[in-house]
A and B are shown apart, each in its own frame.
Chain A
Amino acid sequence: MQVALDNVPAVAQLPQQGGILRWIRTTNHKDIGTLYLFFSISMFLVGGLMALTIRAELFQPGMQIVRPEFFNQLTSMHGLIMIFLAIMPAFVGFANWQLPLMLGAPDMAFPRLNNLSFWLLPFATVLLVASFFAPGGATAAGWTLYAPLSVQMGPGMDMAIFAIHILGISSIIGGLNIIVTILNMRAPGMTMFKMPLFAWTWLVTAALLITIMPVLAGTVTMLLFDRHFGTHFFDAAGGGDPVLFQHLFWFFGHPEVYVLILPAFGIISAVIPTFSRKPLFGLRSMVAATVGIGIVACAVWAHHMFTVGMPVAAQLFFMYTTLLVAVPTGIKMFNWLATMWQGSLTFETPMLFAMGFLFVFTIGGLTGVILAIVPVDVQLHQTYYIVAHFHYTMVASSLFGLFAGTYYWLPKWTGHMYDEKLGQWHFWLTLSFFNLTFIPMFFLGLAGMPRRIPDYALQFTNLNALATVGAFGFGFTQLLFAYIVIKCIRGGERATAQVWEGAKGLEWTVPSPAPHHTFSTPPVVE
């Protein structure tokens, strides 16, 4: 009976309850994955709108469009929204859709918790976005919420703190669910080293999430107590120490950036072998590198705060551990290139984005190595060089990974091929405009332009104007992406079960679109 169901078109299997209730009550991993992805892209556009307002203000020196206080709110909220509401939910969406399909599981381990972890997000979003309308506006202390400024801000800050609490709970529940799914729900015969690297990267990511999100929750709780309940964790006037906040925050914050990039590594490790028509080179070293990055990630945090005045021994320690990250990352880069080496390459949109990922991630990674060097970092701290660096790692690399994954699995999700020509346009426009936006920022940073400032000295005008043109091009290109996805959902050439000639793995054994319930009888892996 179950086997017969698998062959019925997906639409026929939809639960009887229609409309919005279906989505609120759903415990199906595919539905929740879809919810996560739609939520993520809408927040991506909201965060992008804030970025464009920032860039519009910076198009010319002087104050044109927004007031400085509002500018600071925009930079802070842009960061919070993009990290917590766009990139993280997007990767969780991929995990929801793909992990059960890739591991041969019927669903996630805890479907109801899965539903909860998604439906917490809209509440956090409302709190965060509504804080713009609180007296004094949204938090303007940067996404890092540094004390003492964050101790002093208006009620918008409290709303951000509660939003972070909710997001933290959502992430922790999601992480727990993913670990249990990966460890306990694999199909018979799917040993740890037979499972795709995407599952491995998510295993490490989820482990990082349950390690660091509670620390962030604790940190913002201490902040809340400093603000309202008379404690002085961070308030120097009462014997606290603002530097403690930075340590606590970056203990979360640095592993967090690996949370944002590791799943992208997993996606790239699925896409490149498919379009090279070769198995992934060095799976075991890839796994070791992923676990290695996860471990080292927890011992590098103070490189974000080399200028607070710490002992030389501590600076050296954090400098060396940071440089150490380049080793496992280099192994990964080598393995991806070795996978492509002498492969039968074709360049469909997912492959283009994967190769674009290699390019931009190399720039992001190498500038990270430069910033790890203490004396260089002291010069470049709080300049646009940093802004360029982390946008290369997070926008370009994480986002390119997400785009590659979306184009790669979209035919499996919708049952239709996307418009290849438009996809290629989307890639080339995204790549060009992205570099046009962020390469000038490296030079602005080297020339000394500070970040988080709404106005700047005249000599920075030309490069800023270029960056703004690039940012608007980049932003509007993403509307093309939304159009491509919607077009693909509504119709197009029918996709086969395997979709891509070189695709291997359990998810390609189920029909396209993937039926509402898959692997109710576990597949047997050779």
Chain B
Amino acid sequence: MSGVARNRMLLAKLSLAALGMFGFGYLLAPLYDRLCGAERATQTAAKDATRPVTRVDLARTIAVQYDANVHGSLHWSFRPLQKTSQVHPGELVHIRYEMTNDSDQPMIGQAVPSYAPPAAAAYFHKIECFCFKSQALRPHETKSMPVVFLIDPAIPGDLPTITLSYTFFEVRPRKSA
């Protein structure tokens, strides 16, 4: 091969490599979603929805205690209508909470759940909850709202008691500038 032809050949190969790298740049986007995105998804809500629970484990009973708190500026009363439930893992449980706006203004609150011990959170599947949305109450209005949940039968045996606690925070409408 002559010098010029050899040069052209090498140039063509190297240009292909450059073009390949351009494509590789785009490949990195789905690759990133696959590697990092998958990990993020497992950390958040997606896990709850994916695996259906069909078996009720009658051999075990877990005590679930209910707790309610109101934070700072929100002048609401907030309480569970039952103190505890005895729950079989896998069983669908319906409970209710009651909230009252004690102030003279309409107020919006958002409930944030927490679990004790925290390890229980991964096995606590809520199907319906007032905490899914913020709640608006007119002055002195009282509402009773449901929570429907089940506990995953995969829950380890060293969690005989779980406390489900809600705290209501005030949601202020964003002030326009």
Chain A interface residues (CB < 8 Å from chain B): 109-110, 172, 176, 179-180, 183-185, 210-219, 222, 233, 241, 243-244, 247-248, 251, 310-311
Q: Are A218 and B25 in contact (CB under 8 A)?
A: yes
What is the CA–CA distance of A222 and B6 in the complex, to the nearest angstrom?
A: 35
Q: Are A210 and B17 in contact (CB under 8 A)?
A: yes
Q: Are B10 and A184 in contact (CB under 8 A)?
A: yes
Q: Are A248 and B21 in contact (CB under 8 A)?
A: no
What is the CA–CA distance of A65 and B121 in the complex, to the nearest angstrom?
A: 55
* A233-B21 contact given A110-B7, A210-B14, CB 8 Å threshold: no
Q: What residue of chain B has the Cβ atom nearest to residue A177's Cβ? A: B11
Q: Are B28 and A210 in contact (CB under 8 A)?
A: no
What is the CA–CA distance of A201 and B65 in the complex, to the nearest angstrom?
A: 69
User: Which A residues are CB-close (under 8 A) to B32?
Assistant: 241, 244, 247
The prevalent SS among residues of A at the interface is helix
Contact residues of B between 7 and 61, Cβ < 8 Å to A: 7, 10-11, 14-15, 17-26, 28-29, 32-33, 36-37, 39
Q: Are A233 and B29 in contact (CB under 8 A)?
A: yes
B3 touches A (CB below 8 Å) = yes
What is the CA–CA distance of A313 and B3 in the complex, to the nearest angstrom?
A: 49
What is the CA–CA distance of A109 and B12 in the complex, to the nearest angstrom?
A: 13
With contacts A213-B18, A215-B28, A244-B32 known, what are 19 further pairs, Cβ within 8 A? Answer: A176-B11, A179-B14, A180-B11, A184-B6, A185-B7, A210-B18, A211-B17, A211-B21, A214-B20, A214-B21, A214-B22, A215-B25, A216-B25, A219-B25, A222-B29, A233-B29, A243-B36, A244-B29, A247-B32
Q: Are A180 and B28 in contact (CB under 8 A)?
A: no
What is the CA–CA distance of A130 and B173 in the complex, to the nearest angstrom?
A: 43
Number of A-B contacts (CB under 8 A): 73
Q: Are A179 and B25 in contact (CB under 8 A)?
A: no
Q: Are B14 and A176 in contact (CB under 8 A)?
A: yes
Q: Are B25 and A109 in contact (CB under 8 A)?
A: no
User: Which B residues are CB-close (under 8 A) to A243?
Assistant: 36
User: Which B residues are CB-close (under 8 A) to A172?
Assistant: 18
What is the CA–CA distance of A310 and B40 in the complex, to the nearest angstrom?
A: 11
User: Which B residues are CB-close (under 8 A) to A218?
Assistant: 22-26
* A217-B22 contact given A184-B7, A241-B32, A244-B32, CB 8 Å threshold: yes
State how many angstroms separate the Cβ of A456 from the closest Cβ of chain B.
28
User: Which B residues are CB-close (under 8 A) to A211?
Assistant: 17, 21
Q: What residue of chain A has the Cβ atom nearest to residue B28's Cβ? A: A248
Q: What residue of chain A has the Cβ atom nearest to residue B18's Cβ? A: A210
User: Which B residues are CB-close (under 8 A) to A251?
Assistant: 25, 28
User: Which A residues are CB-close (under 8 A) to B22?
Assistant: 214-215, 217-218
| Residue from A180, A213, A219 within 8 A of B7 (CB atoms) | A180
Q: Are B39 and A176 in contact (CB under 8 A)?
A: no
What is the CA–CA distance of A185 and B19 in the complex, to the nearest angstrom?
A: 24
User: Which A residues are CB-close (under 8 A) to B19?
Assistant: 214
| Residue from A179, A212, A219, A233 within 8 A of B10 (CB atoms) | A179
Q: Are B29 and A180 in contact (CB under 8 A)?
A: no
Contact residues of B between 61 and 90, Cβ < 8 Å to A: none
User: Which B residues are CB-close (under 8 A) to A214?
Assistant: 18-22, 24-25
User: Which B residues are CB-close (under 8 A) to A210?
Assistant: 14, 17-18, 21
Q: Are A110 and B11 in contact (CB under 8 A)?
A: yes
Q: Are B37 and A241 in contact (CB under 8 A)?
A: yes
A-B contact pairs, 20 of them (CB 8 A): A109-B11, A176-B14, A176-B18, A180-B10, A184-B7, A184-B10, A210-B14, A210-B21, A211-B17, A214-B20, A214-B21, A218-B26, A222-B26, A222-B29, A243-B36, A244-B28, A247-B28, A248-B25, A248-B29, A251-B28
Contact residues of B between 141 and 177, Cβ < 8 Å to A: none
What is the CA–CA distance of A214 and B37 in the complex, to the nearest angstrom?
A: 24
State how many angstroms separate the Cβ of A177 from the closest Cβ of chain B.
8
User: Which B residues are CB-close (under 8 A) to A311?
Assistant: 39
Interface pairs A-B: 5 shortest CB-CB: A218-B25, A214-B22, A214-B21, A215-B25, A210-B18
State how many angstroms separate the Cβ of A199 from the closest Cβ of chain B.
16
Q: Are B14 and A180 in contact (CB under 8 A)?
A: yes
What is the CA–CA distance of A233 and B37 in the complex, to the nearest angstrom?
A: 13
User: Which B residues are CB-close (under 8 A) to A110?
Assistant: 7, 11
State how many angstroms separate the Cβ of B29 from the closest Cβ of chain A.
6
User: Which B residues are CB-close (under 8 A) to A222?
Assistant: 26, 29
What is the CA–CA distance of A216 and B18 in the complex, to the nearest angstrom?
A: 12
Residue among B11, B19, B20, B24 having the largest count of chain A Cβ atoms under 10 Å: B11
Q: What residue of chain A has the Cβ atom nearest to residue B39's Cβ? A: A311
What is the CA–CA distance of A212 and B37 in the complex, to the nearest angstrom?
A: 24
State how many angstroms separate the Cβ of A105 from the closest Cβ of chain B.
10
User: Which A residues are CB-close (under 8 A) to B6?
Assistant: 184
Q: What residue of chain A has the Cβ atom nearest to residue B17's Cβ? A: A210
Residue among B20, B23, B36 having the largest count of chain A Cβ atoms under 10 Å: B36
* A215-B18 contact given A110-B7, A244-B32, CB 8 Å threshold: no
What is the CA–CA distance of A87 and B132 in the complex, to the nearest angstrom?
A: 56
What is the CA–CA distance of A507 and B117 in the complex, to the nearest angstrom?
A: 76
What is the CA–CA distance of A218 and B32 in the complex, to the nearest angstrom?
A: 15
